[in-house]
């Protein structure tokens, strides 16, 4: 596990992380890994992990760190991650940051960049309202959305400072056309010497 790009996408729910993760995964040639998608898949298939995660997800709370950290260890040990990866929605807590740091150190590697997608609360609430109608995600209900935003502010927003202290963060305006936002990100990555494979 050495060459390749390792990046994180951080931002509030509804900032467009999933959409941009797919674009960047293609452009950079690394797998996009969404802990939210993995949890939803497990919930749908009623696996033991899904059964444990469901109540937390429906309430808009974070799934406990122990479950999430085990899940990400398993995923990052898959061969497709050996040349880099993009994490969407992980880490979300300082405990998860510690876990990821330990994992990467054990594998003799480290993060290259943390992309912060910036979008204000009114915009994300409106986007998620639309997504609720289109996709019917149970955690896109308006009161749950508000709670997810609070959880983001309390538990995840502080990570920007943690990674900022390591000079890893690039902040990107998440408003605008999808392709325009992708271009902004790719420009900032290029300025750091990171480009597509
Ligand atoms: P997302 O698709 O990233 O918005 O995640 C949907 C839900 O999955 C979250 O509201 C949490 O309940 C759960 N989840 C996803 N990623 C994590 C994580 N890193 N830590 C804890 N819970 C998570």
Of 40, 92, 127, 184, which is the active-site residue?
Answer: 92
- Whether ligand 1 lies within 6 angstroms of the CB of 12 is answered as no
Q: Are the beta carbons of 88 and 21 closer than 8 angstroms?
A: yes
Q: Is 131 a catalytic residue?
A: yes
Q: Indicate the pTM of the whole model.
A: 0.94
> How far apart are the C-alpha atoms of 76 and 81, rounded to whole Å?
6
pLDDT digits (tens, 9 = 90+) for 85-106: 999 999 999 999 999 999 999 9
Instruction: State the residue for tokens 């690394």.
Output: 30
Q: Which two tokens stand for residue 103?
A: 């994992």
Let me know if 6 is a catalytic residue. no
pLDDT in tens, 109-164: 999 999 999 998 888 888 888 888 888 777 777 888 889 999 999 999 999 999 99
**Best residue for ligand 1 mutational test, from 42, 63, 135, 146 (most atoms within 8 Å of Cβ):** 63
Cα 64 to ligand 1 centre (Å)? 10
Give the model confidence (pLDDT) of 6-55 as tens digits. 999 999 998 999 999 999 999 999 999 999 999 999 999 999 999 999 99
Distance from C-alpha of 170 to C-alpha of 151, rounded to nearest angstrom: 22
Tell me which architecture the domain covering 6-191 has in CATH.
3-Layer(aba) Sandwich (3.40)
Cα–Cα distance measured from residue 120 to residue 100, given in angstroms and rounded to the nearest whole number: 27
How far does residue 106's CA lie from ligand 1's centre (Å)? 25
**Other CB atoms within 10 Å distance of the CB of residue 3:** 9
Q: Which element (helix H / strand E) includes 98?
A: helix 94-106
Tokens of residue 9, six digits? 């996408």
Element containing residue 126 per DSSP (H, E): helix 121-135
Cβ contact 125:149 at 8 Å: yes
């Amino acid at each position: 596990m050495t060459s390749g790009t390792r990046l994180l996408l951080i931002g509030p729910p509804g900032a467009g992380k999933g959409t941009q993760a797919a674009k960047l995964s293609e452009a950079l040639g690394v797998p996009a890994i969404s802990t939210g998608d993995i949890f939803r898949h497990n919930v749908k298939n009623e696996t033991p992990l899904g059964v444990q995660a469901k109540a937390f997800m429906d309430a808009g709370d974070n799934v406990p760190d122990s479950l999430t950290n085990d899940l990400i260890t398993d995923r990052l040990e898959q061969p497709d991650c050996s040349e880099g990866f993009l994490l969407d929605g992980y880490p979300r807590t300082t405990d998860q940051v510690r876990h990821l740091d330990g994992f990467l150190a054990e594998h003799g590697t480290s993060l290259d960049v943390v992309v912060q997608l910036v979008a204000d609360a009114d915009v994300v609430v409106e986007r998620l309202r639309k997504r609720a109608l289109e996709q019917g995600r149970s955690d896109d209900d308006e009161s749950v959305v508000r709670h997810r935003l609070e959880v983001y502010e309390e538990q995840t927003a502080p990570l920007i400072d943690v990674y900022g202290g390591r000079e890893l963060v690039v902040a990107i305006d998440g408003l605008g056309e999808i392709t325009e936002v992708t271009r902004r990100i790719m420009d900032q990555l290029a300025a750091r010497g990171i480009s597509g494979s």
